[in-house]
Amino acid sequence: MGNTRREAGLLPLKPLVKAVSTSTSTSNNYPAWHPPQNGEVRSPCPALNTLANHGICPRSGKGYTIPVVIDCLKRGLNVGADFATVIGTAGIASNPNPLTSGLYFDLDMLDRHDFVIEHDGSLSRADASTGNNYSFNQTIWDTVLAYYSGMDNATIPVASKARFNRISTEAARDPNFSYSPVQFILSYGETALYLSTMGDPITGVAPLEYVRSLFEEERLPYELGWQPPKTETTLATLGAMALELNAASGEQVPEGVILGEKSLRAALIGLNAATGEIENNAVYAIAKLTGALGSLIGL
């Protein structure tokens, strides 16, 4: 996993102020951080890796059930149980034997391409066709950071353009590029997630050095002054922000899809986000067991 700026000088950004300690110091109560050690596994998700590196989610990266995910997303990032349940359900769907093995996932199962969550055109990972869709990739991330040149804060309008550029870039250069309506929705959701948890789930304003700590260090930026936002990140706040992000990019919405809370839930539980019909039987079966179906009226 890279965490140096390989193309130094490419961007007029201040170097990330890195926290120096790797464990809880006596002067604070921050959860101790260290990168994965022998046998511990990680994922293409910067946030889950970060929470595991602090031991807020299991450091092993293994055995993530819905109760585990609800608890550690709440404690670590003030993410609500509603979103934790549906994203956790999609995570479990990445387990090759989700029903027989006990409704859990390990972080290294999340690499499964095009299987609900993992998709092309990521902000900080290469497309699956390159052979590595899971490691942090500084060169790709630099193309996102370029949009923030000269700015101290990530914002909805700029994050939106940076996200759309990643989709357009890979669509043009990856002959195997895939981008379904589900992936369209999740990609907006991921940008909303970093703006919400590193900043504010309503305004979407997030200090850039916090965002960089999450992606580049896979570390919560406590020592830079960050605390979990007071406002909880929920399906509703994420859906509303996804809508704003889309308005700012002007990207065409797939036919029939209404971006928002309900389509975000639908995308993660195996439903067609436009029609509400079951699209992925396996995921839907898991969602019935995890309690992720919730209210889909009005999709």
Residues that bind ligand HEM (CB under 6 A): 44-48, 69, 73, 77, 79, 87-88, 91, 110, 117-119, 122-125, 190, 193-194, 197
**Residues paired with 105 in a beta bridge:** 64
At closest approach, how far in Å is the CB of 27 from ligand HEM?
Answer: 27
Compare residues 91 and 275 and give the one whose CB is closer to ligand HEM: 91
CA dist., res. 298 & res. 40, Å (int): 42
Contact between 273 and 186 under an 8 Å Cβ cutoff? The reply is: no
Compare residues 20 and 172 and give the one whose CB is closer to ligand HEM: 172
Q: SS3 for 242?
A: helix
At closest approach, how far in Å is the CB of 229 from ligand HEM?
Answer: 11
At closest approach, how far in Å is the CB of 90 from ligand HEM?
Answer: 6
At closest approach, how far in Å is the CB of 274 from ligand HEM?
Answer: 21
Compare residues 25 and 231 and give the one whose CB is closer to ligand HEM: 231
Nearest to residue 116, comparing CAs of 289, 282, 288?
282
Compare residues 77 and 273 and give the one whose CB is closer to ligand HEM: 77
Q: Are strands 206-207 and 153-154 parallel, antiparallel or unpaired?
A: antiparallel
Q: Strands, E, within 198-292: which ranges? A: 206-207
At closest approach, how far in Å is the CB of 266 from ligand HEM?
Answer: 16
Compare residues 18 and 74 and give the one whose CB is closer to ligand HEM: 74
**Residues paired with 145 in a beta bridge:** none
Quick one: DSSP state of residue 162? H
